[in-house]
Amino acid sequence: MTLTNRINNCRTSIFKAVFPSTTNHYDTLFGGTAMQLMDEVAFITATRFSRQKMVTVSSDKIDFTKPIPAGTFVELVGNVVKVGTSSLKIEVDVFIEEMYSEKRESAIKGLFTFVAIDDDKKPTKLNY
């Protein structure tokens, strides 16, 4: 399998409903909850790419451009954007989708770095 095919095949998309139990006093999704969901999607994307043990080593600039209200869906999309010797950069985009209309818009974008580790939890080369 080519690197381009591997990258395309590991694209990950997850939908979640935003319920009041996950919102703050403004009735919008907690930023920390959004970041947790983004890290989870990034982890799944990295693992699907490598089929190895992967750990988060950094989250780079995360831009919150739109508040995410209760009563909406969010789609989190993870894509590999850079492949290193032992690391991957995963971009995660979060989209708001209204439940009862076709309206959809970008809300959050962030970049996560993952490293492959061996059984001793030491960085190891990516196998691809």
Q: What would the pLDDT profile of 85-123 be if each residue is shown by its tens digit? A: 999 999 999 999 999 999 999 999 999 999 999 999 999
Residue 27 inside a domain? The answer is: yes
Cβ neighbours of 115 (radius 10 Å): 21
* Domain with 19 in it: 3-116
Residue 89 inside a domain? The answer is: yes
Predicted TM-score of the model (pTM): 0.95
pLDDT at site 86: 98
CA 15 from centroid of its chain's CA atoms: 11
> Is pLDDT at 128 greater than 90 in this prediction?
no
Cβ neighbours of 83 (radius 10 Å): 15
Mean per-residue pLDDT for 72-80? 98
Residue 128 inside a domain? The answer is: no
Residue 124 inside a domain? The answer is: no
Residue 41 inside a domain? The answer is: yes
Yes or no: say if 39 and 31 are a contact pair by the CB < 8 Å rule: no
Residue 37 inside a domain? The answer is: yes
Residue 123 inside a domain? The answer is: no
How many structural domains are present in the chain?
A: 1
Residue 126 inside a domain? The answer is: no
pLDDT at site 4: 93
Q: What is the pLDDT of residues 2-22, one digit of tens each?
A: 999 999 999 999 999 999 999
CATH number at residue 39: 3.10.129.10
